[in-house]
Amino acid sequence: MRTVVAATGMVVALTGVGQAQQSDAPLGSPAATRAIDGLQLPAPDMPFGGKTERNALESTPFWQPRVAPPEGAPNVLLIITDDVGFGAPSTFGGVIPTPTLDKIADMGLRYTNMHSTALCSPTRAALITGRNHHSTGFGVISEQATGYPGYDSVITKDKATVGTILKDNGYNTSWFGKNHNTPGYHISMAGPFDQWPTGMGFDYFYGFMGGDTSQWTPGNLFRNTTQIYPFETQKGYNLITAMADDAIDYMTQLNTLSPDQPWLVYYAPGGTHAPHHPTPEWIKKTEDMHLFDGGWNKLRDTIFANQKKLGVIPQTADLTPWPSDLLKNWDQLTDDEKKMFIRQANVYAAYLSYTDAEIGRVVQAVEDSGDLENTLIIYISGDNGSSAEGTLIGTPNEVAMFNGIEVPVDVQLKSFYDIWGTEFTYNHMAVPWSWAFDTPFKWTKQISSHFGGTRQGMAIAWPKVIADKGGIRNQFAHVIDVTPTILEAAGIREPSVVDGIPQSPMEGSSLSYTFDAANADEPSHHVTQYFEMFGNYAIYHEGWMLVDKVSRPAWVTAGPQNTNPAKADWELYDINTDWTQNRDLAAQSPDKVKELEAVWWQEAKKYNVMPLDASVVSRLVTPRPSITAGRSEFEFPGKMTGISNGVAPAILNSSYTFTAEVTVPEGGGDGMIITQGGRFTGYGLFVNKGKPTFVWNLLGLQKVAWEAPDALTPGKHTLEFDFKYDGLGAATLAFNDFSGIGKGGTGELKVDGNVVATQKMPGTVPLILAWDENMDIGSDTGTPVDDASYSVPFAFTGTIDSLKLVIDRPQLSDADKGRLEEAMKKAAE
């Protein structure tokens, strides 16, 4: 037996057996429902309770009763935003207005000590399973998955999600927005689909697959498992609004068709992950407020003062020092830099306010339906700290940053200032803004040892139960505590068996005890928590925190694969008296360091953290078991769209040849033959005004084109693009050596066997193409690789009779392997 806080606000006993039938309808009638003990999911059918005779008139029918949750179980609206630092929203002292988060906090509770994993999909895997991120295979994001249990991006069947558990207990479940918890190598029409939202317990999914997407032209948007492109027909489309519309429509249908059935809505908008894509109205509204004219140093002081005034940090808390050795002070900048950086911050702030406002529409729809009183709303502000992935100066194209390219401020001002935040940018802000939005803490997203990377503001409201309106809770918590909290609030047991598979116990602890004002100061039930990301690690234990000193700033994406924990440079903090990790006690407390180091290793072993790996971008090219893995020759049909990067043949850092047999109709033929990527990086082989053309878009900064001088005549033709690569290629990255990637090469365009254009590219895209775009054949479903040449969908007006791709990937010689292995040994030492 265990106790739970039921929807009535009373503490009740849950035995898990013999719970009362949930409707007045007789058992066996079409309207009958039943509660279950929840230990085995899905629950076995009841024995047939009717009577079967030879004659139907003498027989009694019996319908299986519908499973229903315990009486009074609440609706659940679980909200998580993206890349929002603790000090960004107004609810936790920030200057950016977030009235919806304010509203939830004012009618419920503010949580000031909630933690994430420091990165997107790891946090989300932990959130929906109640287990640590390495336990769920998400030690890093799915695009960096490696072949180890803690890092393969597979949520195994012994870790059922909150969606599965609530669904099998009678809830209707849905997921809107970001899904970064499906392995990239599963995202195709070939599936498998068991790791998609609809395979993880959610009846309905409307959202995008992957880490982020353009909100104006989302190329990776799905309804359930079907790819959709609504922006092609809806003028002024923005996914932030479209997602709220879809969620509201869906909830309206549920409330109409099944008003007594509780629901779980998991609401995960793309805001405020890059690209920052608010509407022009929100940008204008934010610029008129002049929030950032004083710069990032002054902003930190303002936020810190607000936080003490609100009581979301202790009055004794320190403001951690500005890292002048890493980041410039505002008064060191030129006028041009200030102008550009203020624009970046305004667009970011507009995006946060816009996202919060659209969440507000969803909350208002719940209120309008009359369901607000018995709806548990959990609003987590960010899945990690504010992001430092925009480089030290910001970028108009985040894809460029992940390929190691910075765009100078003068180029940003000249070419991108006026269009910053539109569909023509994939924009991100400068690191110092991100550091400021993590006030009062140090560091940013990706850094798991310091609270700037892991501390999230959270608000929980449940009007029918939580009476301490506007209260503040300071207990240590982690995202793994959310699913246990939901289950306890609903009176639903953690299952022992799901789909015949024994379940591993959840690793979080419920926060329901904090709902009662009498427990406002009760010590945290979550006393130990490890942290690890990219080889940076820490352990929280009973109010103390031992952390590995940061050796790689989050904006430096190239680094060594090996990390040597035996030589850890430890910092030690007493969190009970040092809220912001400002006073390092390691030198004066060696025994405590030794004690906590032992706890760290114990937890790391328990939760699949090994092997530690400090590499970042080099993991992007790790070979994975996709449907194209190990193949070098491909033959495609004449039309095929929506092939995700995770399963598309990888041609980066390689030699390759495309060969297309086409038939041109009378009057000529135009259109796309094959493309991968789009406006922010990618390639395309197409016919433009009758002329065969191959274009490489190099990170939106340069376009290299091969164009035939003459238009194709009607009839059959062979088009060929052959590229010879000059470097060693991705093979070097197995040794964390970047010298062989991104090299140039020579391309030849041929028509009917004749070379019609030859050109050398001095450099190529080294690591990754635009992740929210696809490989398309016969048309282009995303954005153009060359806006000057065509507009999407640019369907080919002729016939593609055959299309082949042959890839020749460079191989390392034994001498090269020896050289690189020796270099790695020296680096490890």
| Domain residue ranges of the chain, discontinuous segments joined by + | 75-289+351-386+446-523, 530-619, 628-815
Could you give the CA distance from residue 175 to residue 162 in angstroms, rounded to a whole number? 11
The token pair that represents 556 in the structure block: 């430096």
CATH among 3.40.50.20, 1.20.1250.20, 3.40.720.10, 3.40.50.720 for 75-289+351-386+446-523: 3.40.720.10
Averages of pLDDT over each 10 residues, the chain, 829 residues: 35 35 76 91 94 93 94 96 98 98 98 98 98 97 93 97 98 97 89 94 97 94 94 91 97 92 97 97 98 98 98 97 97 98 98 98 97 97 97 95 92 97 97 98 97 98 97 98 98 97 98 96 97 96 96 82 68 97 97 97 96 87 81 91 89 95 92 96 96 96 95 96 90 74 94 96 91 93 94 94 94 75 64
Residue 675 CA, chain-centre distance (Å), reads: 25
How many angstroms separate the first and last alpha carbons of the chain?
A: 54
**What is the maximum span of the chain, computed from C-alpha positions, in angstroms?**
93
DSSP state at residue 522:
P
pLDDT at 12: 33
Phi, psi (rounded to 5 degrees) for 661: -100, 120
628-815 under CATH 2.60.120.200, yes or no: yes
The token pair that represents 265 in the structure block: 């809505």
For residue 654, which of 709, 602, 730 has the smallest C-alpha distance? Answer: 730
Could you give the CA distance from residue 65 to residue 48 in angstroms, rounded to a whole number? 11
8 A C-beta contact, residue 793 and residue 780: yes
For residue 292, which of 391, 145, 79, 434 has the smallest C-alpha distance? Answer: 434
pLDDT at 5: 40
pLDDT at 3: 37
For residue 773, which of 682, 654, 669 has the smallest C-alpha distance? Answer: 682
Whether a cis peptide bond, with omega within 30° of 0, leads into 762 is no
CATH among 3.10.290.10, 3.30.360.10, 3.30.1120.10, 3.30.470.20 for 530-619: 3.30.1120.10
Could you give the CA distance from residue 87 to residue 305 in angstroms, rounded to a whole number? 11
Q: What single letter denotes the amino acid at residue 553?
A: P
358's enclosing H/E stretch is helix 335-368
DSSP-derived 3-state class of residue 171: coil
pLDDT at 562: 53
Neighbours of 518 (CB within 10 A): 8
For the entire predicted model, the pTM comes to: 0.94
Q: Looking up tokens 């820490």, which residue turns up?
A: 538
pLDDT at 14: 33
pLDDT at 777: 96
